[in-house]
Chain A
Amino acid sequence: MTHEEAAGLLGAWALDACEDAEAASVERHLASCADCRVEAASLTRAAAGLGELAAGA
């Protein structure tokens, strides 16, 4: 998976909205790309925030 492909999937990945094989490819890319790791961390926090809304009840 190229950097562009992985970066394009980060939003879907953070929302757990990728196919398993794609998620695994994204994770392999993250292991070697610091830029994507930074964005992935930020998007994951945002996704966790959505969970906070859901867990608020």
Chain B
Amino acid sequence: MGARGAGLSTSMASAEELRLVARIATGDEAALRQLYARYGSLVYSIAVRVTGDRCAAEDVAQQVFIRVWERPAGFDPERGSLRTWLATLAHSRAVDHVRREQACHRREQRQLPGAPSDVEEVATSSAVAERVGRAVDALPDDQRVAVLLAYYDARTYREVAAELDIPEGTAKSRLRLGLRRIARCLEQEGLGAWT
């Protein structure tokens, strides 16, 4: 849906970001520290919002920067800025963490006799979480990062616009389009009526 249209050009990686990643690729630890100083709090705050757990969020943030250190080639400047990539990594790692916790919780529930209503409740909410997680992953990068910043990082659309260096109108429409896609995914699965 034109995700690679004109709107993306403003969020493409800058030459400076490319240099920073190139330095990391050569094993330059100072470059990694610089990356952490700049994006550590963004990565951590997304992870905290998704996991609801500070310790888990620290683990997730660490995993994200280890991943960058080990596989800097995973950064594709054609697909968006460094911030977009790191926010996406933070979100997907945090969602993985939540899913693992849920699987663990379901196993525990199964071992307990009784409490069928609890099991049902957990199953429904994790079906929604699962679906939402997949819908978020499937969003075009520009919409995903706008939604992540607004929701998990509690930014207003004006702050999202400033953060991503895009016009406010563009930020508003990315939020609306992204949320619409998520809504459509939930409705297709018959989960839309859930309140």
Q: Confirm or deny: B175 has a beta carbon within 8 angstroms of a beta carbon on chain A.
A: yes
Residues of A within 8 Å of B52, CB to CB, are 54-55, 57
Residues of A within 8 Å of B136, CB to CB, are 50, 53
Smallest Cβ-Cβ distance to B191: which chain A residue: A49
Q: Confirm or deny: B23 has a beta carbon within 8 angstroms of a beta carbon on chain A.
A: no
Q: Confirm or deny: A35 has a beta carbon within 8 angstroms of a beta carbon on chain B.
A: no
B window 150-189: CB within 8 A of A: 150-152, 154-158, 160, 169, 171-180, 182-183, 186-187
Interface of A is mostly: helix
Is there an interface contact between A56 and B186, defined as CB atoms closer than 8 Å? no
Is there an interface contact between B157 and A52, defined as CB atoms closer than 8 Å? no
Is there an interface contact between B157 and A12, defined as CB atoms closer than 8 Å? yes
B 98-126 binary contact with A (CB < 8 Å = 1; else 0): 11011000000000000000000000011
Residues of B within 8 Å of A56, CB to CB, are 98-99, 101-102, 125-126, 129
**Total B residues in contact with A, Cβ cutoff 8 Å:** 50
Please report the C-alpha to C-alpha distance between residue A33 and residue B176 in the assembled complex, in whole angstroms: 17
Contacts A42-B187, A56-B102; A11 near B125 (Cβ below 8 A): no
Please report the C-alpha to C-alpha distance between residue A11 and residue B56 in the assembled complex, in whole angstroms: 29
Please report the C-alpha to C-alpha distance between residue A45 and residue B195 in the assembled complex, in whole angstroms: 7
Is there an interface contact between A50 and B56, defined as CB atoms closer than 8 Å? no
Please report the C-alpha to C-alpha distance between residue A11 and residue B156 in the assembled complex, in whole angstroms: 11
Please report the C-alpha to C-alpha distance between residue A49 and residue B95 in the assembled complex, in whole angstroms: 13
Contacts A12-B172, A15-B147, A45-B186; A57 near B179 (Cβ below 8 A): no
Closest CB-CB distance, B143 to chain A, in whole Å? 10
Q: Confirm or deny: B79 has a beta carbon within 8 angstroms of a beta carbon on chain A.
A: no
A window 25-57: CB within 8 A of B: 39, 42-43, 45-50, 52-57
Contacts A56-B102, A57-B101; A50 near B151 (Cβ below 8 A): yes
Q: Which of B52, B132, B147 has the most CB of A within 10 A?
A: B132
Is there an interface contact between A45 and B183, defined as CB atoms closer than 8 Å? yes
Q: Confirm or deny: A17 has a beta carbon within 8 angstroms of a beta carbon on chain B.
A: yes
Is there an interface contact between A54 and B49, defined as CB atoms closer than 8 Å? yes
Partner of B172, one of A9, A16, A42: A9
Across chains A and B, which 5 residue pairs bring their CB atoms closest together, nearest first? Answer: A11-B176, A11-B175, A46-B183, A49-B132, A12-B157
Which residues of A are at the interface with B, using a C-beta cutoff of 8 A? 8-12, 14-19, 39, 42-43, 45-50, 52-57
